[in-house]
C-alpha cells in the first residue's frame, strides 16, 4: 500500500469515527492554539476520559493565556487537583508567562521556539505544531507507537527504541490535513489498535498490517527498571494535625508540601514501613515519629480529616492515609 493510499484510508476512517472532544471543536485560531496547549499538557500521562471534565472547567475560568499567566498559583493548583504530576501545571503557567512576555501573547509556531517553553519536549512540540498550526508532524505517543509496532511487526529491542520508531513512522507518510492526520493516528491507536484485544476487523489498514497477518498482537516493550530509593520520613504531630514543609530539597514534587524527609544512601538494615512508586522511582520509606522540636517554627499543619482544604500532592495524601490507618 502506498503512503498516499494509507493516509487517505486513515483520514477517511477518522472523519467517520473520531470522538467529539472539547478541544477538537471549531474555534478561532487563537483559541485553538490555547486549547491545544492546555489539553496537551493535561494529556501527558493521563487518559482522555479523565482529562475532559478538568479541561472544561479549566478553560471556563482560565479562558486565555493572559489569565493563565497571572492566576494565583494556589488557585491554579485547585483546578489541577486529582490529575497528578503537578509539575505539568506549574510549567504550563510558566509557559503562559513566557508567551505573554516574549511572544506578545501568541503561542510560537516555530518548533524550536515551542521546545524552549517550560515543560515542552519533542512530543508536545510536535503535537502542538501539527494540531494547532497544521504543520507536517506526526507526534509519537503511546497510541501511535502501538499502531506502528503492529503494522510493521516490530518486535526486537533495537526496533522499538524511540530513535528507531521515529525513523519507521515515515511509513505513515504526511497529509495536507496535518492536524487531522496527527489526531487520526492517535485515535486509531486509542479506539482500534488497543493494547489488548485490538478491533482489527474495524481497522482501515489491517489488510497490510503484518501483525494482523501473523495473528500476533503481543507488544514488546523495553523494560525500564525503577530506581530504588530509601528515605527516612519524620512525623511531627500537634493537636491531631501533621507538620508538612515546602519541598525545596528534592527534584520530585518541587515546591509542594511534603513530610520532612531525608534520603538514605546505601542503607544497612533498612526496614521500610511503606513503599510508594513515584515517576521512575521505587521509594522505600521508613517512618520516624518525633516530638515537636522547639526549633521547628511553622504554621504549616494539615488536618487529616480535611485534606480537601489543602493543595497537596497525592504522594503526601498517601502518607497521611497510611499514618491514620496505622495509629
Domains of the chain by residue range: 3-214, 227-325
Ramachandran class of 15: left when φ > 0, alpha when ψ lies in -120 to 50, beta otherwise: alpha
Could you report the average pLDDT of every consecutive run of 10 residues in the chain (327 residues)?
88 97 95 98 93 97 97 91 86 97 97 96 97 97 96 94 95 95 97 96 96 93 83 92 89 86 89 88 92 64 90 90 90
Per-residue confidence (pLDDT) for residue 57, from 0 to 100: 97
Determine the pLDDT at residue 299.
65
Partnered with residue 241 across adjacent β-strands are 238
> Where do we find the cell 527516612?
232
List the CATH code of the domain at 227-325. Answer: 3.90.79.10
Cβ pair 125, 77 in contact under 8 A: no
Whole-model pTM: value is 0.80
pLDDT for the residue 2: 79
What's the grid cell of residue 13?
Answer: 476512517
pLDDT at 296: 56
Cell of 61: 475560568
Question: Per-residue pLDDT tens for 137-187?
Answer: 999 999 999 999 999 999 999 999 999 999 999 999 999 999 999 999 999
Helix (H, G, I), strand (E, B) or coil at 233: strand
Q: Do the Cβ atoms of 284 and 275 come closer than 8 Å? A: yes
Which positions ≥6 away from 126 have C-beta within 8 Å? 111, 137, 138, 139, 140, 182
| Tens digit of each residue's pLDDT (9 = 90 or more) over 197-224 | 999 999 999 999 999 999 999 998 877 7
CA atoms within 13 Å, Cβ hemisphere of 230: 9
Per the annotation, the verdict on 40 as an active-site residue is yes
pLDDT at position 12: 97
Residue 298's pLDDT is 61
What is the full DSSP assignment across 253-321?
A: TTTSEE--EEE-SS-SS---SEEEEETTEEEEEEEEEEPPPTT-----EE-GGGGGGS---HHHHHHHH
Q: What pLDDT score was predicted for residue 297?
A: 56
Percent of the chain at pLDDT > 70 equals 97
The helix-helix angle for 48-61 and 29-43 (nearest 10°) equals 130
Q: Which of 80, 102, 106, 104 is nearest to 91 (CA)?
A: 80
CATH architecture of 3-214: Orthogonal Bundle (1.10)
pLDDT at 294: 56
Residue 37 has which C-alpha cell?
A: 496547549
Catalytic pick among 33, 40, 145, 187: 40
Amino acid at each position: 500500500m502506498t503512503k498516499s493510499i494509507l493516509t487517505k484510508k486513515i483520514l477517511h476512517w477518522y472523519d467517520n469515527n473520531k470522538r467529539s472532544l472539547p478541544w477538537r471543536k471549531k474555534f478561532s485560531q487563537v483559541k485553538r492554539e490555547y486549547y491545544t496547549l492546555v489539553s496537551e499538557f493535561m494529556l501527558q500521562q493521563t487518559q482522555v476520559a479523565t482529562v475532559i471534565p478538568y479541561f472544561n472547567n479549566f478553560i471556563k475560568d482560565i479562558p486565555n493565556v493572559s489569565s493563565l499567566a497571572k492566576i494565583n498559583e494556589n488557585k491554579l493548583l485547585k483546578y489541577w487537583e486529582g490529575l497528578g504530576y503537578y509539575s505539568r501545571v506549574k510549567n504550563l503557567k510558566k509557559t503562559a508567562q513566557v508567551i505573554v512576555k516574549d511572544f506578545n501573547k501568541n503561542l510560537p509556531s516555530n518548533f524550536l521556539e515551542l521546545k524552549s517553553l517550560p515543560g515542552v519536549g519533542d512530543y508536545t512540540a510536535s503535537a502542538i505544531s501539527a494540531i494547532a498550526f497544521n504543520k507536517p508532524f506526526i507526534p509519537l505517543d503511546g497510541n501511535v507507537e502501538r499502531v506502528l509496532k503492529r503494522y510493521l511487526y516490530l518486535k526486537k529491542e533495537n526496533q522499538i527504541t524511540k530513535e528507531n520508531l521515529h525513523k519507521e513512522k515515515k511509513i505513515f507518510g504526511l497529509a495536507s490535513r496535518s492536524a487531522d492526520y496527527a489526531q487520526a493516528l492517535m485515535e486509531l491507536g486509542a479506539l482500534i489498535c488497543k493494547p489488548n484485544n485490538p478491533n482489527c476487523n474495524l481497522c482501515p489498514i489491517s489488510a497490510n498490517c503484518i501483525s494482523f497477518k501473523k495473528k500476533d498482537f503481543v507488544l514488546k516493550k523495553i523494560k525500564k527498571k525503577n530506581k530504588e530509593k530509601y528515605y527516612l520520613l519524620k512525623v511531627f504531630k500537634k493537636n491531631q494535625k501533621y507538620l508538612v514543609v515546602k519541598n525545596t530539597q528534592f527534584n520530585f514534587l518541587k515546591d509542594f508540601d511534603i513530610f520532612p524527609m531525608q534520603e538514605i544512601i546505601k542503607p544497612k538494615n533498612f526496614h521500610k514501613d511503606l513503599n510508594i512508586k513515584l515517576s521512575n522511582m521505587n521509594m522505600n520509606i521508613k517512618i520516624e515519629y518525633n516530638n515537636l522540636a522547639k526549633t521547628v517554627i511553622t504554621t504549616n499543619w494539615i488536618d487529616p480529616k480535611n485534606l480537601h482544604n489543602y493543595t497537596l500532592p497525592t504522594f503526601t495524601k498517601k502518607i497521611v492515609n497510611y499514618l491514620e490507618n496505622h495509629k
